[in-house]
Structure formats: C-alpha cells, structure tokens
Amino acid sequence: MKYKHARLSIQDTMDVVGGKWKLILIFVLFDGKKKFNELTREIGISPRVLSKELHELEVNGLIKRRVCDTKPVTVEYSLAPYSESLKDVIVALCKWGEAHRENIIAGKFDMSPKSKSIL
C-alpha cells in the first residue's frame, strides 16, 4: 500500500473544504469581502449553516472575520492569504465541472447523468 499517504491527503482536503458550501464560499469571497447577509442572499444559505461553515473555515485559517463598528454592527468576511493556496483546487474543479457539462450536452454518456448548470 504505497500510495496510502496520498489517499489520506485527499481525505484531509475533503475534510477541510468538502461539503456543500465551503468551496462555494471561498470562491465567492475571491470576488472580495462580504458581509454575513450578503452571503446568505448571494448563495442562498441559511444563517445557521452559514454561521457554522464560516466558523469552520476560520478555524482552518482560510477566512478572516472582522467586526466593523457600524450601527448596526456588521461583520466582514474575507479570504485569508492561505486561501490563495486553494486556487489550483478551485480552478481544477471548476474546469472539470464545465467540461463535464459540455460532455453531457454533447450526449457523450450511455446513461443519463445530471448537471446543475444546465438550465
């Protein structure tokens, strides 16, 4: 079992950025800092889940949380420098999803997979 180490690396990555929202959040934050409510509205995530995801991303050093003393208080979430390291991952996933979608449209499958990005 010589490649066990690589397998664990994949699993580690999935532990940190897996799930429905984490990569999406990071991707959206590449566009610039956002407030809590902007995020809920922009990606359609419930506040409960958003709060949890943001906290986990913060623990893993991927985003920064800054409380602004506006009235009422707002909180800015932005990418920590460490998120730069995820660019390759995000680009790879993004490219593949796009290519996959085109393959589906072109009818290159015997069976019938589904794609969210086909309207």
Sites of contact with DNA (CB under 7 A): 19-21, 35-38, 45-49, 51, 53-55, 65, 71-75
Q: Which of 33, 37, 95, 105 forms a contact with a copy of itself (CB under 8 A)?
A: 95
- The alpha-carbon radius of gyration of the chain (Å, integer) is 17
Q: Which of residues 3-62 bind a copy of itself (CB under 8 A)?
A: 3, 5-16, 18, 20, 23-24, 27-28, 31, 42-43, 58-61
Per-residue buried b or exposed e for 93-118, using 16+ beta carbons within 10 Å of the residue's own CB: eeeeeeeeeeebeeeeeeeeeeeeee
> Which of a copy of itself, DNA, none does residue 114 bind (CB under 5 to 8 Å by kind)?
a copy of itself
DSSP state of 82: G
Handedness of CA 42, 44, 50, 54 (dihedral sign): negative
**Shorter beta-carbon distance to a copy of itself: residue 15 or 70:** 15
Site size toward a copy of itself (CB under 8 A) is 55
Query: Do 46 and 8 contact (CB within 8 A), yes or no?
Result: no
> Which of a copy of itself, DNA, none does residue 106 bind (CB under 5 to 8 Å by kind)?
none
